[in-house]
Amino acid sequence: MRKFFRMLTLSASVVTLAAIAGMSASHAADEAKVSEEALAKGKEIAFSQQTGNCLACHMITGGELPGNIGPPLIAMKARFPDRAVLREQIYDARIKNPMTIMIPFGPHQVLSEEEIDLVTDYIHTL
């Protein structure tokens, strides 16, 4: 009988462990919900001189001949834990700094809403 109870507690812990593992797995999936394809598009928009041209002013890993007018875009998740704040910066840098020389990509319609989302998701991975 005692053996039976031991088995019961053991299987209960196994079930709990499995539930915890399942929870953290779905959390990881949440974090990684931006597809590789979308990130590649965001990078393309950020790097291209026809679209974002962010490299004209910012150092971005993997980008050639970066400018240094703006700060290097590194450790973005640490500095912008909230994606919405990062998006706002890219959408309209004047909100934080009315004297900025960064292009207000949203209001000036240099980038569409969708393009700004793609760029934000990509920059957030840096």
Contact residues for ligand HEC, defined by CB under 6 A: 46, 52-54, 56-58, 69-71, 73, 79, 86, 89-90, 93, 97, 100-103, 105, 119, 123
CB of 118 within 8 A of CB of 42? yes
Question: What is the smallest separation between the CB atom of 59 and ligand HEC, expressed in angstroms?
Answer: 11
Question: What is the smallest separation between the CB atom of 16 and ligand HEC, expressed in angstroms?
Answer: 42
Question: What is the smallest separation between the CB atom of 83 and ligand HEC, expressed in angstroms?
Answer: 11
Alpha carbons 40 and 23: distance in angstroms, whole number: 28
CB of 89 within 8 A of CB of 60? no
Compare residues 5 and 94 and give the one whose CB is closer to ligand HEC.
94
* Residue 67, amino acid: G
